[in-house]
Amino acid sequence: MEKRIAGAEAVGSHKTSMLQDIEQGKPLEIEGMLGVVVELAALTEVEVPTLKALYACVGLLDQTVQTGRVKIKGIQDR
């Protein structure tokens, strides 16, 4: 765990690609990251309630950003 924390700190100020997409109002690539996992879980009858909740929340965020009802800014941009 300490190595992971140190590695993250070494990267410094970095924005994930999803955060960059949100800030730029671009569609999120949630189907490829979450949608497919939720779908495979359903096909194999594996319960993934946390992933389903995350998928729903990120989907709602994506819809909200795409309709222009909200603009998300990064912490450093405020």
Q: Is the pTM of this model over 0.85?
A: no
> What is the structure's pLDDT at 18?
87
* Model pLDDT for residues 20-73, shown as the tens digit of each residue: 888 888 899 999 999 999 999 999 999 999 999 999 999 999 998 888 777 777
User: What 3 state SS string does the chain have?
Assistant: CHHHHHHHHHHCCCCCHHHHHHHCCCCCCHHHHHHHHHHHHHHCCCCCHHHHHHHHHHHHHHHHHHCCCCCCCCHHHC
- Kindly report, residue by residue over 2-19, the tens digit of the pLDDT: 988 888 788 777 788 888
pLDDT recorded at residue 69: 73
Residue given tokens 């965020």 in the structure block: 61
Higher-confidence residue of 35 and 76: namely 35
